[in-house]
């Protein structure tokens, strides 16, 4: 894909899941990547594996000084910032039991930290010929989710923020979009107990039009597209990479009405 080679990306949450897939994909496309996370060991191992094009920085999204150090390190090491990819999140959510402290902590990571990081990166992004910010949301931001109040609402905030950020940063040539993945298969699922693996595969089948879980590469390719020079007229948007999850109604892939009518001996079309 064009417009990635030689560019510089910060990837938050780069030690796990989608962040790992994104880092690998961007390095393969010729970018330099700084992984930002609090899980040091896997982040350092990934950076070592990817060689001179990747570095790891311990940067807690709850710490302004660590975020500033991340930005400074990236500019010092690779000469600027073209892409800010905000994959990190906490899934911690005790729903109706969550305390104010827990709400603040989750929002500090999922929302506030990414806002502050964008504020700090902005003077560098503005110097890029094709600056792009990619936020992460989820289908759970659009519907009620039993037992979960914190995570889905933080992601709904991200979707709104993406639009306001896109509007305000457009005059500076900085595009801001979000990506909405479906359920994604991660390496940790391969080592989960067989019953968990089976349950996950079952949800993959039931929840997605395409009848399976997504892959890290499929999410990474969507992020790559949004940062590339093929997406220079795309901003303020939410791009679904969810196997049709969001577009599917509550009856899933089951042909409920025609089946019911057939059983009742009725016609299936007017």
Ligand X SMILES: NC(=O)c1ccc[n+]([C@@H]2O[C@H](COP(=O)([O-])OP(=O)(O)OC[C@H]3O[C@@H](n4cnc5c(N)ncnc54)[C@H](O)[C@@H]3O)[C@@H](O)[C@H]2O)c1
Question: Any idea which residues carry the catalytic annotation?
Answer: 151
Closest separation in Å from C-beta 176 to ligand X: 15
Closest separation in Å from C-beta 228 to ligand X: 20
In the numeric block, which tokens belong to residue 25? 């994909």
Residue 7 vs 155, nearer CB to ligand X: 155
Closest separation in Å from C-beta 266 to ligand X: 40
Buried-state track 54-80, b at ≥16 Cβ within 10 A, e below 16: bbbbbbbbebeebbebbbebbbeebee
Residue 126 vs 145, nearer CB to ligand X: 145
Residue 3 vs 17, nearer CB to ligand X: 17
Task: Please state, in angstroms and rounded to a whole number, the distance separating the CA atoms of residues 68 and 64.
Answer: 6
Q: What HEC string does 122-180 produce? A: HHHHCCCCCEEEEEECCHHHHCCCCCCCHHHHHHHHHHHHHHHHHHHHHHHCEEEEEEE
Q: Name the residue number minimizing CB distance to ligand X.
A: 17
Task: Give the binding site for ligand X (CB under 6 A).
Answer: 12-13, 15-19, 37-39, 60-62, 87-90, 109, 136, 138, 155, 181, 183-184, 186
Closest separation in Å from C-beta 255 to ligand X: 27
Tell me how far the alpha carbon of residue 239 is from its chain's centroid.
10
Residue 56 vs 136, nearer CB to ligand X: 136
């Amino acid at each position: 894909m064009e417009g990635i080679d030689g560019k510089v990306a910060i990837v938050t949450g780069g030690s796990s899941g989608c962040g790992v897939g994104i880092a690998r994909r961007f390095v393969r496309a010729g970018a330099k990547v700084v992984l930002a996370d609090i899980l040091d060991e896997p982040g350092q191992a990934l950076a070592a594996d990817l060689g001179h094009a990747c570095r790891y920085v311990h940067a807690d999204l709850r710490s302004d000084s660590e975020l500033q150090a991340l930005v400074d390190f990236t500019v010092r090491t690779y000469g600027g910032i073209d892409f800010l990819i905000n994959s990190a999140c906490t899934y911690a959510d005790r729903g109706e039991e969550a305390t104010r402290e827990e709400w603040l902590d989750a929002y500090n990571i999922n929302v506030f930290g990414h806002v502050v990081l964008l504020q700090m990166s902005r003077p560098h992004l503005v110097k890029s010929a094709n600056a792009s910010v990619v936020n992460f949301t989820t289908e759970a931001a659009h519907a009620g989710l039993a037992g979960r109040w914190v995570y889905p609402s933080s992601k709904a905030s991200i979707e709104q923020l993406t639009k306001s950020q896109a509007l305000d940063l457009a005059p500076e040539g900085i595009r801001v979009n979000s990506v909405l993945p479906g359920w994604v298969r991660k390496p940790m699922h391969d080592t989960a107990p067989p019953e968990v693996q089976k349950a996950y595969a079952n949800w993959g089948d039931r929840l997605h039009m395409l009848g399976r879980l997504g892959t890290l590469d499929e999410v990474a390719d969507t992020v790559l597209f949004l940062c590339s020079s093929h997406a220079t007229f795309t901003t303020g948007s939410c791009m679904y990479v969810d196997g049709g999850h969001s577009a599917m109604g509550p009856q899933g892939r089951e042909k409920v009405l025609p089946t019911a009518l057939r059983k009742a001996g009725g016609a299936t079309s007017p």
